[in-house]
Amino acid sequence: MSTDLKKRAFFIYMILAALFIASLVASNLIFKKFFYWDFFGLYTFEISVGILPYPITFLITDSISEIYGKKRANQVVTVGIFASLFTLLIILVSDAVPAIDNSPIGNEVFSTVFGSTGIAVSASMIAYLLAQYIDISIYHFWKKLTKGKHLWLRNNFSTFSSQFVDTLAVIGLLSIFGELPWDKFWVLVLSGFLFKVIVAIIDTPLLYIIVYGFRSYFNLKQGEEIDFLK
């Protein structure tokens, strides 16, 4: 691969990493709002809006895993941890400083919206670590087993497994910390997991498009990965 193509590959990798971090941080900040979604009369979901950007993180890590390899995917996950912790630090400092009398948003409102962010980030980080590393490991297990074939298989198998772990862990931890009621535990777990499964199925064609675009642009063979540092 030419030096110019390696530079382009690195730039795209940085964009994907940025989108991953933005989705992860946003999901932790907006989790307190809940909504319902009637899925064609078959099932009514009760889920946090924080779940909306979260499936994007798995689509991105699967894309990076496929094109750049397991090492680069794990690097993005690790960077996401630091970004979330730094965001938490900023919010804790912002919550601690007193608002002036004519501030558009006062201390009480700010604390109501962001006051539990520390708990949310802590719960999310534990679930996130388990889920993302499980996702990447299972993804590459199936990639190796199928010799780079059957992209849909490793995408969905890895996402289904990791999303169940993530949903169970984050809802459980938020319930333990008193942020969510226990009587809603299984409803939220089921709604969250089913929603993520549906999104994973929907995003499979998107992953095919992304992978096809990368392979065509960088002239990659099936199963071949980009190493922009060589």
pLDDT at 123: 65
Rounded to the nearest 5 degrees, what angle is found at the Cα of 204, between the Cα atoms of 198 and 210? 140
Measured at the CA of 141, the angle between CA 137 and CA 145, to 5 degrees, comes to 170
Burial of 108 (0-12, 13-18, 19+ CB in 10 A): exposed
CA 19 to chain centre: 10
- What confidence tens digit (pLDDT) does each residue in 60-116 have? 988 998 899 888 988 998 898 888 888 888 888 888 899 998 898 888 888 877 766
Residue 128 structure tokens: 């996130």
Tokens 């459980």 -> residue: 172
CB atoms within 10 A of CB 77: 22
pLDDT at residue number 19: 94
Q: What is the pLDDT of residues 31-65, one digit of tens each?
A: 778 888 787 777 777 777 877 887 788 789 889 98
Q: Does the predicted TM-score (pTM) go above 0.85?
A: no
pLDDT band (50, 70, 90) for residue 11: very high
Taken in order of first residue, the domains within the chain and their CATH numbers are 3-34+46-218 (1.10.1760)
